[in-house]
């Protein structure tokens, strides 16, 4: 970065990056667990898993909203020399930084099927859904203020998945059309001329 510019990653993209891996690993672990009799039996395991799914989705969605709001309110405009990171790069960095945690979570969820079939897999899937919902909520904040929220990449280095963690001091904003991700972190839809 020259002239004091910083690399910036979209807040919503960082939040959303873990949603798909957690969802799919959870679904696979729950599906595999359905074929294991387990100590509790499939019916109890699945019912317990459904409750864990709902609780995890709610907790992940609601946790930290005050911190996100405070950082969004205090956000400063991005400088002209700041570099906006592509959506794919941000997601790849998150997944690379968390690959071993994802693998351990999948193995734990699969192994726990011996006790309660499908329960831990549904818990993982619930965490993924919670991240999607949190990213959508951030998207509503962005639309309401007509800005996109960005976080400095160097503040994400140690905890690449914590865009509202202690290392993050402030957000930066750009106009709603900046970057390659729509509000909420989804891939921006390309419009074709008629």
Show the DSSP H helices in the chain as ranges: 11-17, 19-33, 42-62, 65-73, 87-97, 99-111, 119-145
Report which of 152, 158, 147, 142 is spatially closest to residue 8, judged by C-alpha positions: 152
Q: How far apart are CA 125 and CA 21, in angstroms?
A: 9
Q: Which two tokens stand for residue 169?
A: 């001091």
Q: Is the pLDDT of residue 194 over 50?
A: no
What is the chain's mean pLDDT, rounded? 88
18 vs 159, residue with greater confidence? 18
Residue 155 has pLDDT above 70, yes or no: yes
For 69-88, write each residue's pLDDT tens digit: 999 999 999 888 889 999 99
- Three-class SS string for 110-130? HHHHHCCCCHHHHHHHHHHHH
For residue 163, pLDDT over 50 is answered with yes
Q: What DSSP element (H or E) covers 10?
A: strand 7-10
* Tens-place pLDDT, residues 83-135: 999 999 999 999 999 999 999 999 999 888 888 888 999 999 999 999 999 99
169-183 pLDDT, tens digit per residue, is 999 999 988 888 888
């Amino acid at each position: 970065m020259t002239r004091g510019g910083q690399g910036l990653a979209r807040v919503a993209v960082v939040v959303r990056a873990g949603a798909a891996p957690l969802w799919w690993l959870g679904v696979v672990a729950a599906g595999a667990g359905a074929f294991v009799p387990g100590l509790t039996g499939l019916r109890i395991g699945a019912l317990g898993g459904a409750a864990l799914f709902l609780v995890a989705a709610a907790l992940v969605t609601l946790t930290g909203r005050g911190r996100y709001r405070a950082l969004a309110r205090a956000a400063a405009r991005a400088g002209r020399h700041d570099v906006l990171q592509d959506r794919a790069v941000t997601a790849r960095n998150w997944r690379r930084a968390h690959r071993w945690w994802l693998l351990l979570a999948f193995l734990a969820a699969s192994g726990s099927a011996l006790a309660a079939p499908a329960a831990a897999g549904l818990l993982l899937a619930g965490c993924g859904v919670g991240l999607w919902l949190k990213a959508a909520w951030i998207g509503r904040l962005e639309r309401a203020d007509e800005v996109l929220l960005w976080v400095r990449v160097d503040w994400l280095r140690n905890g690449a998945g914590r865009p509202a963690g202690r290392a993050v001091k402030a957000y930066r904003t750009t106009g709603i059309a900046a970057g390659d991700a729509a509000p909420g972190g989804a891939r921006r839809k390309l419009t074709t001329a008629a």
